[in-house]
Structure 1
Amino acid sequence: MIGQLTGLVSQVEQDRCLVDVNGVGYVVSASTHTLAALARPPEVARVLIETVVREDAIQLFGFFTPEERNWFCLLTTVQGVGARVALAILSVSQPQALLQAVNAGDKQAFTQAAGVGPKLALRIITELRSKVAKMPGLAGAGSTGPLAPLAEGGEVAGLQADVLMALEGLGFRRAETWPVVSRLMADTPDATLDQILRQALQELAR
């Protein structure tokens, strides 16, 4: 198995690059974030690799950071999320944003990726909520309070859902508002919807 390549990135396409290691060219599929971050000749690039072995091919998937590789492995544990879909998700959202989206129950962060509809986005959130805290280097990162509670259908429930929905109606993204709302509700558990909404707007306006 190949875990890392160090060489010259001699060619970059939309979703992959060619890494020249001592005269041998390796085709590496990667997210747009990784492709943009890789060094170009004459500088040497280091690419973390996840090797996927199939009956008809051996594929190399490259990552600029360990966090992105961890998320790739985590996403592909979800039924319906293959390597290509996982890369599409990582191309539109960075690891920190994905963590917040899972905690907040924000499907939009996933449906922006090609091949991900609302049902698959909901499945990703539901299956990964219990797993993200166990990811190396990410436990607790980007989280300022308890997970947003989910109703039977997988949507965020209760007062928190009402506040988040109201903020979404005002143009704020759920992954952006959830940490603020979650912390405010933890600090003032007896606050009403109007009070939480007013305080959240004051903080978000800053």
Structure 2
Amino acid sequence: MIASITGQVEHVGLTTAVVSVGGFGVQVHATAETLSGLRTGAEVRLDTAYVARKDEAPLLFGFRGAAEREVFEIMLGVSGVGPRTALAVLSVLGPDDVHRAIAQGDAKAFTRVPGIGPKGARRIVLELADKLIVPERPAAPAAAPVEPWRAQLLEALVGLGWNEKDAARGIADALADRDDLVASGDVPVLLRTVLAWLGAAKAGTRSAAERGA
């Protein structure tokens, strides 16, 4: 089995590309999206699937990654689905949408592929229901926990008449270079520091306004 090829792109057509490998020009069938990413003269690596069927010339199909190739090869196990139909499915849906459609039992999604009618679409969903598993997405990183003292400071400042936006900015600016205080987590000391900073900032703003007047 030819699992992948690496070489220089010699030609890019509408449905195939020719890649020079070890002095041989290897013709690869691929989706329009895969072909659009190839450039004549550039080096390329493609995952591949070699298909040889009775009474048909053997063909080599190329893919951008293993996920595409996996869907392609599994779809070949569906009755009535040949390599060109499987490639057409990937061209229209892509591997993620194929997984999603199978998981949701969405036969209608496959009718968007030329040559696949409602009956064929239902057969694809039925036969692949236990063969294609929706790939797990990496969990989103958990948000950094808010330090308890910061929430207490914000609540205290809002209670003293500051709006939440200005209070949050004041906390960040007043304690930007006070790692020693932040590490202590001493709320009363932190509050006095922030209030002093806010008072100085407010006085400075007032003085600037008076000078401008």
Matched, 1:53 2:52: yes
Partner Cα separation in structure 1 for residue 93 and residue 53 of structure 2: 27
Shift of the alpha carbon at 1:107?
Answer: 2.0
CA RMSD of superposed structures (Å): 1.8
Provide the residue aligned with 1:191 in structure 2.
Answer: none
Structure-to-structure mapping, 1:106-185, within 5 angstroms = 106-133=106-133, 138-140=134-136
Structure 1 spans left out of the alignment, 5+ residues: 143-206
SS in 2 for 1:101: helix
- Any idea what the Cα deviations from partners look like across 1:136-164, whole Å, max 9, x if unmatched? xx54459xxxxxxxxxxxxxxxxxxxxxx
Q: Where in structure 1 do 4 or more consecutive aligned residues deviate above 6 Å?
A: none
Q: Is the 1:50–1:60 Cα contact (8 Å) retained in structure 2?
A: yes
Shift of the alpha carbon at 1:75?
Answer: 0.7
Provide the residue aligned with 2:22 in structure 1.
Answer: 22
Matched, 1:43 2:64: no
Partner Cα separation in structure 1 for residue 59 and residue 72 of structure 2: 14
Partner Cα separation in structure 2 for residue 100 and residue 48 of structure 1: 22
Shift of the alpha carbon at 1:106?
Answer: 1.6
Q: Is the 1:37–1:64 Cα contact (8 Å) retained in structure 2?
A: no
TM-score w.r.t. the length of structure 1 is: 0.62
SS in 2 for 1:132: coil
In structure 2, what residue type is equivalent to 1:10?
E
Shift of the alpha carbon at 1:49?
Answer: 1.1
Q: Return the index of the structure with the highest Cα Rg.
A: 2
- Any idea what the Cα deviations from partners look like across 1:90-142, whole Å, max 9, x if unmatched? 00011111111111122232111121111000000011111112xxxx54459
Partner Cα separation in structure 2 for residue 80 and residue 16 of structure 1: 23
Compare relative contact order (CA 8 Å, sep 6+) and give the higher one, 1 or 2: 1
Provide the residue aligned with 1:160 in structure 2.
Answer: none
Structure 2 spans left out of the alignment, 5+ residues: 139-213
Q: Is the 2:46–2:63 Cα contact (8 Å) retained in structure 1?
A: yes
SS in 1 for 2:106: coil
SS in 2 for 1:120: helix
Q: Percent identity?
A: 40
SS in 2 for 1:67: helix
Q: Is the 1:72–1:83 Cα contact (8 Å) retained in structure 2?
A: yes
Partner Cα separation in structure 1 for residue 28 and residue 91 of structure 2: 15
